Amino acid sequence: MHNCSTVIIHCMDFRLINKIREWVDQNNLTNDTDIISIAGASKALSEDNKEIQNFILNQINVSYLLHNARKVILMHHSDCGAYGSYNFIDEEEEFAKQLEDMGIAEEIIKNSFDDIEVQKVWIQMNDHEGRNVEFINL
């Protein structure tokens, strides 16, 4: 058996991939995490579309059953294109909406798997290129 502790769900945004890899390394998760990369991270899980929800839950389930992962990290970020259609007034409004979606996703995950921990991480982008970003544990 090949086991890992964690499964990370992060946004597919190319601007953040290198920074996320660095964060994974700094948090001792290199070679210890599965990674699910989708637009908007857990946004699709929080929306009321059973087909898409089941697809994502099945992906988590592979990690849960096959690799024994017992922790899910939901990783969202500011300036996310998947949330572009909301036309937020400011970053605070964007953060509030994404935090709400992460909370819904967390509940769905906890209701779907026994003995699972959910951690929420916010990536604050301080420029549009992803050169200067901060990772904040929520």
| Angstrom distances, CA of residue 9 to CA of 1, 42, 87, 92, 107 | 22, 7, 24, 22, 15
Shortest distance in whole angstroms from residue 132 CB to Zn ion: 17
Nearer to Zn ion among residue 13 and residue 106 (C-beta): 13
How many angstroms separate the CA atoms of 2 and 33, rounded? 11
Residues 2-61 that bind Zn ion (CB under 5 A): 11, 13
The most distant pair of C-alpha atoms in the chain lies apart, rounded to whole Å, by 49
How many angstroms separate the CA atoms of 75 and 35, rounded? 11
Nearer to Zn ion among residue 67 and residue 76 (C-beta): 76
- Quick note: the x/- pattern for Zn ion over 81-110, rule CB under 5 A, is -x----------------------------
Shortest distance in whole angstroms from residue 12 CB to Zn ion: 7
